[in-house]
A and B are shown apart, each in its own frame.
Chain A
Amino acid sequence: MPEKPGSRSWRSLLRPGRGQVIAAVILFVVGLGGVVQIRMNAADDAYTNARREDLIQILDGLGTESRRLEGEIAELEQTRANLRSGADSQRVAREETEQRLDELSILAGTVPAKGPGIRMRITDPEQKVTAGVLLDAVQEMRDAGAEVIEVNDRVRVVASTWFADEGAALVVDGQRISRPLTVEVIGDPHSLEEAARFRGGLVSEITGPRVGGAVSVERLESVEVTSLHRPVKNQYARPASAAPTPR
């Protein structure tokens, strides 16, 4: 009976001879080794098979590249340092500007102010405290280092403030001031009080026979000045040169 094609291999599978087993084992080893080698080859094919000259060239290229990158790093660090110092100086300039702004706004009377100082109450039943006397008082206070002056909680005395008499009434910066007067001053309380009380000064002038009023001066830990001066835009005056930039 003729054998069907293929039946030999089926039979050999069911009853493998020694040769078959040995061939299978050896092919197993070969398959394993081949796969291992292919995987290794795929993993680092660039360098394992490279010749020595190629490797030297690659190393050279890498050295050059790393030197170039190191140069770049140094350059970028320089830039970063520059930017950082630039940011620092900008911050300092801004802080100085803000400080200047604070000083100038207090000077111009555009912001409320607070600090140690004195409160003077001037009573003059005969209404003889004139604009001149009040102006003298303001001058004395400024002499003694007054930083902020306010009259009757209503008028902030600034550089452009003016005083006038309107009949018996007092006018400061266009506002009628009622009596008794209260003058609040921010500055060193001791020097301010001394400036008010010295012989021949403000207090003695008002309490003197010519005016016949009374003055009370009290030192305060904290004087709060909330009235503001409304700044007017200069119509004629312009800075002659560009404003100096702070540093």
Chain B
Amino acid sequence: MLPLIGLLLGIAVGLLLEPTLPLVLQPYLPIAIVAAMDALFGAFRAYLEGIFSDRVFVTSFISNVLIAALIVWIGDQIGVGSQLSTAVVVVLGIRIFTNAAAIRRALFHA
């Protein structure tokens, strides 16, 4: 329940305060969001399987976000930024689907 409230609060703050990100960080935000989604799905799966650990969650979340952004940043430096961001999105997308499948199995036993 509390995490849901946190999510809604974040959306509300984003809509009402309209914060802006520094221009330097703007290209990495989409990748960071995908990485965060991956971490969230992983956490939800672990929660359903009864092996949720908040320390693992926080660590995985932060490291996922940072590593995804770092990969894209390096890609930008060496001129393959768009390709690498595609690669990151694909990998994270596969992981999200895997987690989602596990969540589905745990929830509906199907």
Q: Interface residues, chain A, CB within 8 Å of chain B? A: 9-10, 12-13, 16, 18-37, 39-41, 48, 51
A-B contact count (CB 8 A): 102
Kindly state whether residue B8 has any CB partner on chain A within 8 Å: yes
Q: Report the nearest A residue to B10, measured CB to CB.
A: A31
- Residues on A with beta carbons closer than 8 Å to the beta carbon of B53: 19
Q: Interface residues, chain B, CB within 8 Å of chain A? A: 1-11, 13-15, 18-21, 26, 29-30, 32-33, 36-37, 39-40, 43, 52-54, 57-58, 61, 82
Given contacts A26-B58, A30-B36, contact A36 B1 (CB under 8 A): no
Complex-state Cα separation, A9 to B47, whole angstroms: 13
- Residues on B with beta carbons closer than 8 Å to the beta carbon of A41: 30
Question: Smallest distance from the beta carbon of A232 to chain B beta carbons, Å?
Answer: 87
Is B14 within 8 A of A32, CB to CB? yes
Question: Smallest distance from the beta carbon of A23 to chain B beta carbons, Å?
Answer: 4
- Given A22-B58, A23-B54, 15 new contacts (CB under 8 A): A23-B43, A25-B6, A26-B57, A26-B61, A27-B3, A30-B7, A30-B37, A31-B6, A31-B7, A32-B19, A33-B14, A33-B32, A34-B10, A36-B21, A36-B29
Chain B residues touching A, majority SS: helix
Is B14 within 8 A of A24, CB to CB? no
Complex-state Cα separation, A41 to B33, whole angstroms: 13
- Residues on B with beta carbons closer than 8 Å to the beta carbon of A32: 10-11, 13-14, 19
- Residues on A with beta carbons closer than 8 Å to the beta carbon of B8: 31
Is B33 within 8 A of A9, CB to CB? no
9 A-B residue contacts at CB 8 Å?
A: A13-B1, A26-B61, A27-B40, A28-B6, A33-B32, A36-B14, A37-B33, A40-B20, A51-B82
- Residues on A with beta carbons closer than 8 Å to the beta carbon of B43: 23
Question: Smallest distance from the beta carbon of B93 to chain A beta carbons, Å?
Answer: 16
Q: Report the nearest B residue to A31, measured CB to CB.
A: B10
Is A37 within 8 A of B10, CB to CB? no
Given contacts A23-B43, A37-B33, contact A31 B11 (CB under 8 A): yes
Is B2 within 8 A of A37, CB to CB? no
- Residues on B with beta carbons closer than 8 Å to the beta carbon of A33: 10, 14, 29, 32-33, 36
Complex-state Cα separation, A20 to B2, whole angstroms: 6
Complex-state Cα separation, A19 to B44, whole angstroms: 12
- Residues on B with beta carbons closer than 8 Å to the beta carbon of A26: 3, 6, 36, 39-40, 57-58, 61
Complex-state Cα separation, A22 to B9, whole angstroms: 14
Question: Smallest distance from the beta carbon of A19 to chain B beta carbons, Å?
Answer: 4
- Residues on B with beta carbons closer than 8 Å to the beta carbon of A19: 52-54, 57
Q: Report the nearest A residue to B53, measured CB to CB.
A: A19
- Residues on B with beta carbons closer than 8 Å to the beta carbon of A28: 6-7, 9-10, 13
Complex-state Cα separation, A40 to B82, whole angstroms: 18
Q: Report the nearest A residue to B5, measured CB to CB.
A: A24
**Residue from A35, A39, A51 within 8 A of B10 (CB atoms):** A35
**Residue from A12, A22, A30 within 8 A of B1 (CB atoms):** A12
Q: Report the nearest A residue to B6, measured CB to CB.
A: A24
- Residues on B with beta carbons closer than 8 Å to the beta carbon of A39: 14, 18
- Residues on A with beta carbons closer than 8 Å to the beta carbon of B40: 26-27, 30
Complex-state Cα separation, A239 to B55, whole angstroms: 113
